[in-house]
Amino acid sequence: MVENDVATYIAANTSHATGTDLFMGVLPKETREGVAVALVSQSMLNGVLSDAYITVTCFYDTYANSRAAAQTISELLDAYEGTMDGTWTTNGPVVVEYIGQDTIGRYIFSVNATISYE
């Protein structure tokens, strides 16, 4: 799963820890701050995953912390090329987007990227 590959890479290269402040899909209700890695769409070529569009959503109580987390993840993904569950690379621009605040006041940024498998 591409989101698992990306989350593993984030956990290995940042202070984020899987199950503590790094999750697949969405943050659990009891988790106030952290990041969630989700698969948005994917394309197959001859029955094999070729490209996947992922988003990493950052939820933090301050604008500065949310933006910093998004920037760190953006820089990691922008520079990445390597092997985890097969060889994957970021393909095209890595885009950071400010979403706004949610209903409980957290600041939300998203990091969006296309991941290509070779």
Could you report the per-residue pLDDT of 100-109, keeping only the tens digit for each?
999 999 999 9
pLDDT of residue 12: 92
Half-sphere exposure of 73 (CA within 13 A, CB side): 31
Angle subtended at Cα 79 by Cα 111 and Cα 116, rounded to the nearest 5 degrees: 70
Mean predicted confidence (pLDDT) in 52-81:
93
- 57 burial class (0-12, 13-18, 19+ CB within 10 angstroms)? buried
Residue 86 has pLDDT above 70, yes or no: no
CATH numbers and ranges of domains, the chain: 2-117 (3.30.2000.10)
Q: How confident is the model at residue 113 (pLDDT cuts 50, 70, 90)?
A: very high
What is the per-residue pLDDT across 10-66, written as a single tens digit (0 to 9) for each?
999 999 999 999 999 999 999 999 999 998 987 777 766 678 899 999 999 999 999
